[in-house]
Amino acid sequence: MARLFMKGCEAIAEAAVRAGCRFFAGYPITPQNEIPEYFARRMPEVGGTFLQGESEVASISMVYGAASAGTRSMTSSSSPGISLKSEGISYCASARIPMVYCNVSRGGPGVGSIQPAQMDYFQATKASGNGGFRMMVFAPSTVQEAVDMTYKAFDYADRDRNPVLILADGVIGTMMEPVVLPEMKSDEEIAAIKESKRKWACVGHPLDYANRSWIQPGQWSTKLQQEENEKAAALYESWEKDIQVEHYRTEDAQVVIASYGISARIARSAVDLLRKEGKKVGMIRPITVSPFPYKAFDALDYGRVKAILDVEMSIPAQFVEDVKTGVKERCPIRTCLCSGGNIMSREKIVNAVNSILEGM
């Protein structure tokens, strides 16, 4: 396969097109503007539809409608824009509508800064909208991973009839790297995917409310609402088999770095540097941050591991809360943090690890 040099946002958009996405609605916000810009050029070439809504709220509502009709659909935004879309995302979860969206996150709270950050972790993994629904959330550390995750996300969304989130950041979104793009799904494959949704999609069913297989939010009885929530809970439990996590040089590590996304990519190079100095350091990188790979921390030998170092671009720390749940007080946890558009540095991580080792 040929390798292409692509910017992260554009590679994500092309991966979605190749996965069969034929509807995109979005609204400009830095640092994800290249995603809708790319779709605006690309969708007419494949017979798809691009719409720039008058707002984030309008855009997610358009995606809700297109996905309800069985079309593979997507939206994207950055941090405060995702907050505005949260009601529509919750509606998709309630109605069991498959859709994919991408957050190319920036600094916060509020409008914050346009520079990269990882300050949307709680939003992505704990509270993407009202009602306590959950989603599969993937966190790429390279542009290639962003491509692969986006392509596969549509399959997960259709399988579960549930939203799926690609949690990227401004570094991944704006950097350029060589990527190998997946195969373009044929028109016949895309048509077959849409046809497979006919039973539940809004494509002209009789008004048979007792037997319909699609759901109209707001029309629940109390009994039905609980039953559907119980089904959703069972779905979330089934995702244990889909958890993805990277163990990097943890087999003999005394200090284990816990990190995700772009911070983990930087941490990996810090591990390599520290290993060259003879220091036993490793890393656990959740690739799916929801569901979280708690069992990866159970697999550590706490007779050897003396400390966990949480590395993330968020102040206060957020990712560390899941790390604490995984570690279960079996060793100390330290943090190495930055935020507000400041990018984590390898030197900062090395210094933090050396401080831990000196303290041991």
The pTM (predicted TM-score) of the whole model is: 0.95
What's the N-to-C CA distance of the chain in angstroms? 48
Given a cut of 80, is residue 285 above it in pLDDT? yes
What mean pLDDT comes out for the span 154-159?
98
Alpha-carbon span 172 to 228, nearest angstrom? 36
Residue type, 199: K
CA distance 170 to 118: 9
Please, where are the H alpha helices in the chain? 8-18, 34-42, 56-68, 80-95, 121-125, 143-160, 170-174, 187-195, 222-238, 261-276, 295-298, 319-327, 346-359
pLDDT greater than 90 at residue 137: yes
Mean pLDDT across the stretch 302-314? 98
For the segment(s) 246-359, the CATH number from 3.40.50.920, 3.40.1190.20, 3.30.70.360, 3.40.309.10 is 3.40.50.920
Sign of CA dihedral 188, 189, 194, 197: positive
Structure tokens at 282: 């490793």
Q: How distant, in Å, are the alpha carbons of 66, 198, 205, 209, 219 from that of 214?
A: 14, 10, 10, 9, 12
Max CA-CA distance within the chain?
71
Band of pLDDT at residue 202, cut at 50, 70 and 90: confident
Kindly state the helix (H) or strand (E) to which residue 284 belongs, with its residue range. Answer: strand 281-286
Banded model confidence at residue 219, pLDDT cuts 50, 70, 90: low
Percentage with pLDDT > 70 across the chain:
95
Q: How confident is the model at residue 269 (pLDDT cuts 50, 70, 90)?
A: very high
Mean pLDDT value across residues 121-145: 96
Flag whether pLDDT at 146 surpasses 60.
yes
DSSP code string of 195-264: HTTTTTSSSS--S-TTT-SS--TT---HHHHHHHHHHHHHHHHHGGGG--EEEES-TT-SEEEEE-HHHH
Share the mean pLDDT of the chain: 94
> If you ran DSSP here, which 8-state letter would residue 162 be given?
S
Fold: same for 3-241 and 246-359? yes
Question: Average pLDDT for residues 198-217, to the nearest whole number?
Answer: 65
pLDDT at res. 125: 98
What are the boundaries of each domain within the chain?
Answer: 3-241, 246-359
Least confident of 109-113, 192-196, 348-352: 109-113
SS3 of residue 283 by DSSP: strand
Nearest to 257 by CA among 226, 280, 227: 280
Average pLDDT value for residue range 282-290: 98
| pLDDT bucket at 228, cuts 50 / 70 / 90 | confident
Residue 208 confidence class, pLDDT cut points 50, 70, 90: low
pLDDT at 236 over 70: yes
Domain 3-241 has CATH 3.40.50.970: yes
pLDDT for residue 209 is more than 70: no
Kindly state the average pLDDT of the residues 287-309.
Answer: 97
